[in-house]
Chain A
């Protein structure tokens, strides 16, 4: 089936550790995105990529890093510099930047 796969579904991290969230799509989409969702704040854009080997900061990029070495993959690393990393993280993709966006099922990250 075509779609966007995020893994793992739940992730626990100790303070001071880096952690990487996986996002894979088999839709042949060029654009991919990472959003963070917190209760009462809606979705906020962390990073986006319009094409392989290129990515741009979103509105809340501090403490996060990404790579886009393959068209189908856009992993997000939450670094120890992110002061409040506990949140629900959503990955999305679209054919291009202005087209319909499709989302994965999310990863819930908890810092313990």
Chain B
């Protein structure tokens, strides 16, 4: 059974710092991996989608990498800003059934 883990559960950094959020999964047979952002009391906003054949995807200050063989993905945020404060979730989609399996998220706080 696929399990997705995100460590740490919470992270606090000063504004301007570069940071890395981690996501690991137990079954490397994935179809793709998606990173989301969730603000308190809100829905999820899609940030990046990485297909299993890709190594990384970039959008603005965000860069997501995927190492399928080791079951790991990282989300790199450059020059963090207070507006980046939110919970970041990763989710993997398996080859069978295509359902998204979510991690529990990392709550990020960027201090001015």
Instruction: Decide yes or no whether B16 CB sits under 8 A from chain A.
Output: no
How many positions in chain A have a CB within 8 Å of any CB in the partner chain?
25
Chain B residues numbered 70-112 whose CB sits less than 8 Å from any CB in chain A: 89, 91, 93, 97-100, 102-105
Overall SS of chain B's interface: strand
CB distance from A12 to the nearest CB of B (A): 16
Specify the chain B residue showing the minimal Cβ separation from A43: B102
Beta-carbon nearest neighbor of A88 in chain B: B41
Complex-state Cα separation, A74 to B31, whole angstroms: 25
CA distance A9 to B32 in the complex (A): 30
- Distance of A1 from chain B, by nearest CB (Å): 14
Selecting from A13-21, A60-68, A98-106, the interface stretch reads: A98-106
CA distance A33 to B98 in the complex (A): 11
Whether A98 pairs with B104 at a CB distance below 8 angstroms is: no
Closest to B4 in A: A42
Q: Does the CB pair A97–B98 fall under 8 Å?
A: yes
- Asked whether, in the complex, the Cβ of A42 is within 8 Å of the Cβ of B103, the reply is yes
Known contacts A42-B105, A43-B89; is A98 also within 8 Å of B98 by CB? yes
Cα separation A97 to B95 with both chains bound (whole Å): 10
The answer to whether A101 and B34 touch (CB under 8 A), given A90-B44, A106-B43, is yes
Query: Contact string, B38-75, partner A, CB cutoff 8 A, digits 1/0?
Result: 00011111100100000000000000000000000000
Confirm or deny: A84 has a beta carbon within 8 angstroms of a beta carbon on chain B: no
A100 engages B98 (CB within 8 Å): no
Q: Which of B49, B93, B98, B104 contacts A42 (CB 8 A)?
A: B104
Q: Contact flags (1/0) for B5-22 with A, using CB distance below 8 Å? A: 000000000000000000
**A33-71 Cβ-contact flags toward B at 8 Å (1 or 0):** 101000011111100100000000010000000000000
The residues of B with any CB-CB pair to A shorter than 8 Å are 31-32, 34, 36, 41-46, 49, 89, 91, 93, 97-100, 102-105
Using a CB–CB cutoff of 8 Å, the interface residues on chain A facing chain B are: 4, 6, 33, 35, 40-45, 48, 58, 90, 92, 96-98, 100-106, 108
